[in-house]
Every structure is written in C-alpha cells, then in structure tokens.
Amino acid sequence: MQRVLPISTGGSVDAEDLLEAAEALLLAGVRQLLVREPILPTGALQVFLSEAVELDVLVLHECCKNAEDFARLYGCGLHLSSTTPIREVRERFDGLLGVSTHSRAALLHAEAAGADYAFLSPVYSPHSKPEDTRPPLGVDAAAKAAKGVSIPVFFLGGINAGRARMCRQAGAYGVAMIGAIWGRDVKTIPAATALLEAMN
C-alpha cells in the first residue's frame, strides 16, 4: 500500500462524485482510495467500482451498502469500524482487511486478529469532524502506541502535509485523511501531491 490513503467524504449520492475524486487522486500520483459512503445507492457504488479500474487499491468501508459482498465481487479491500469483531470477518473474508483503532491495545488486537493494516486516531483534531470531542493522541503518543506493531499503521485525524512529515519521522507507516484532500477550499491535486512528498 502507498503511504497516503485518502478517505472519501461520505456525502456522495452518485458515482460521478467518486469518479472525479479518483481522477484527481490519479493525477496527483495517489493510486488508492478508501470509499466511506453510507448514503451512496447500491447501483451508483457498482458503477464506480466497475469504472475506477486504474486505482491500484480500493477499499470499501463496511458502512457502504453491501460492502463485504461488493469487496469480494470487485476484488476490493474491506475496512472495519473499531467495534466490529475482526476475527469473525477475517474467517470469511480473505481480501485486504483494515480496521479503525484508537489505542495500542486495539492495534495489538487488530494485528492478532488478522487485520492487514490499521488506522490509529485521532492523532490531531480532525478537520472533517469538528464535533469530535475525543482528545487527540498527539504524534508522540501515537508513535509509541504503534511501535513494534507488525502491520502497517496509518495515522488519522487532522493530517496535513506538515503533520504528515512529522508522523513519518515519528515512525508511522502512512497517513489517512479526509479534510486535507477534500476540505473546503482545498485544491485536491496539489494537496495530494504535497502529502505524497511528505511521506517519501
């Protein structure tokens, strides 16, 4: 996996939005996307999955309609929420499997349960969730939580290019983000390019 993993905004109602997003990512050199679209109709998701073939890594968040079935059908990865039993899903799903975590204990559990990668959040206050009241971990505590974990750990929450560089220097495998790529007044291609450069 690349070290930059964008997450879609969650507000798409048709395939066109996601296809435009994928095109912008590809132009910037990012070849992967986590699709987190709970309100996207099933048909629109199928259109997107059948047309976004140039992306090397496509992951469906379990909040998407028919996520697990479509992940199998289209060869996508599957991303689980922090409360989903990982082992149960791992036993029936053999594709790329990711999970959201919020602590070292949860990271170690994800590793032991068979996840292929994990998110650790919030490292900073999320740009896309101003209502999130959880205290940020901070990059040093996040790095300490991820130390020695054998699966790739992506730091998530309030990431921009400058913070991505700090996360990389602290030992993060990669960074995931919503607001830094799709936020208000953000130009996606330069933002994605800057994030890639920060993680190299």
Q: What pLDDT, on the 0 to 100 scale, is given for residue 132? A: 72
Tokens of 194: 């800057």
User: In the 8-state DSSP scheme, what is residue 136?
Assistant: P
Q: What pLDDT, on the 0 to 100 scale, is given for residue 66? A: 98
Q: What is the pLDDT of residues 65-112, one digit of tens each?
A: 999 999 999 999 999 999 999 999 999 999 999 999 999 999 999 999
Q: What pLDDT, on the 0 to 100 scale, is given for residue 134? A: 81
Q: What is the pLDDT of residues 105-153, one digit of tens each?
A: 999 999 999 999 999 999 998 866 677 778 999 999 999 999 999 999 9
- Per-residue pLDDT, averaged over 144-169, amounts to 97
Give the 3-state DSSP-derived string for 88-126, with helices as H, strands as E and coil as C. Answer: HHHHHCCCCEEEEECCHHHHHHHHHHCCCEEEECCCCCC
35-58 burial string, b = 16+ CB within 10 Å, else e?
bbbeebeeebbbbbbeebeebeeb
Is the entire prediction scored with pTM above 0.75? yes
Q: Select 4-199's CATH number: 3.40.50.150, 3.20.20.70, 3.40.50.720, 3.40.50.300.
A: 3.20.20.70
Structure-derived torsion over alpha carbons of residues 76, 181, 134, 38, reported in degrees to the nearest 10: -40
